Structure 1
Amino acid sequence: MSALTIDCSEGPSAEWDELVRIWEETDAPEGCKVEIIEGIITVSPAPANKHNVIAGKLQRALYTVIPEDWGIYQTLAVSVPSRSGLFIPDLVVAPESELVELSESEQYIPAAAATFIAEITSKSSLRHDRVSKPAAFAHAGASLYLLIDRWANGGPTVTLYGEPKDDVYRVLQAGKFGDAIHLPAPFDLVIDTGPFPG
């Protein structure tokens, strides 16, 4: 297998445009997720059943508190060009206007436009979900990042990050599956993680 090499001689914007073009043209198997993480195009397998159950439960809870003109998306790409990242989080909450204003050819929103981003770890995504993605989302100024880590040492955990500053989030709350996690305003929602399958 060979590595993808991008010619950066035309500057960072040209490099980003080339990465996005390749991302758009990547033909991955159905259900797989294609992302740009730290400048590398990655393909992840479709999530496992327990992963999907958690995403469904979280999405159902969020729908009870979001405004009518917001949406919850499981396949929405968010970009952080300054960190060479284009991600497809497990859940993104964003105003519908952020999507409606895009042209037909635009397939992603800026990460800063997301009100809430959630990732549920898979064995293949541990480092990215725990390190690369929160650093990029904090850099972009995305308000809240929820990491649901089914593969944490000592058992499954849930960590809510917020107040991004200098590429770092502050931990707002952390616990194990079974603990309640409170999402602050604009959600003001308590998420019961007890029903999450480990």
Structure 2
Amino acid sequence: MIERATPIEQAAPPTFETLLRTVEEMDTPDGFKAELIRGKIVVSPWSRLRYLRPMRALRRQLEAHSPDGHIVETTPILFQFPAARRAYGPDLYVADEAAFDEEGRHADGAALSLVAEFTSVSTKDVDWHEKMDVYGQLVPVYLVVDMQASEITCFSDPSPHGYRSRTTVSFGQALPVAKPFDFALDTTGF
């Protein structure tokens, strides 16, 4: 018998809609979330306990400065970005409340006015690169709370090529948060 290479026929990659449906049907373990990152379903744990205080401090301040009709939440909701074939479950977000009147389990990423991601060793690369690229074309404000570096960065002014503005401060310093929020975020509790 002579050995020879045999081509294996592969099915076409799943569509964005198929991946979303799969995520919806998944029974992720308590404390975990599923997202669509780089065309793949990625399951990762929710934030660590020590993240609670900075998340609460950020949430309280954002609630006082959010646009009318927008809510500040940490509820695990998947926001979809069909043009990028991505769907993310942000750690904290501010979104138009009307987006949650729809049926289904995936909200429109266009409803977001702010997203905050709290980095971990396993998610830091995705938060700083993958998500920044997608959010940077649509979401007015993106906050990266870098828990390893003890810094927070505000990205704003989205464009087809990504965010045009970036400000970073160390925890303990005030961070200017761009419009539509337009206030100085107190990070002393972080």
TM-score normalized with structure 1 length: 0.84
Q: CA deviation at 1:129?
A: 0.5
Which of 181, 184, 189 is residue 187 of structure 1 equivalent to? Answer: 181
Secondary structure of 1:78 counterpart: strand
Q: CA deviation at 1:117?
A: 0.7
1:112 touches 1:143 (CA, 8 Å); kept in 2? no
Q: 1:48 to 1:97 in 2, by over 3 A?
A: same
Matched, 1:146 2:150: no
Matches within 5 A, 1:77-88: 77-88=78-89
Q: Percent identity?
A: 28
- Matched with 2:132 is 134
User: Does the CA-based 8 Å contact 2:156-2:178 persist in structure 1?
Assistant: no
* TM superposition shift of 1:77: 1.7
RMSD, aligned CA: 1.8
- TM-score normalised to the size of structure 2? 0.87
| Counterpart residue number, 1:56 | 56
The gaps in structure 1 that reach 5 residues or longer are 9-13
Count of aligned pairs between the two proteins: 180
Which residue of structure 2 lines up, in the alignment, with residue 47 of structure 1?
47
Q: Give distance in 2, aligned partners of 1:98 and 1:61.
A: 22
Question: Where do 5+ consecutive residues of structure 2 fail to align?
Answer: 1-9
State the Cα deviation string for residues 62-96 of structure 1 (Å, max 9, x = none): 11122563211212221112222110001111121
Write out per-residue CA displacement over residues 32-68 of structure 1, whole angstroms, 9 at most, x where no aligned residue: 1110111110111131112122111100111112256
Larger radius of gyration: 2
Q: Distance in 1 between matches of 2:147 and 2:187?
A: 12
Contact 1:157 1:177 in 2 (8 A): yes
Q: 1:149 and 1:48 mapped to 2: Cα distance?
A: 13
Q: Distance in 2 between matches of 1:188 and 1:143?
A: 12
Aligned pairs (5 A) from 1:12-161 = 15-67=15-67, 69-74=69-74, 75-100=76-101, 102-103=102-103, 106-139=104-137, 141-151=138-148, 155-161=149-155
Q: Report if aligned partners of 1:65, 1:189 keep a CA contact under 8 Å in 2.
A: yes
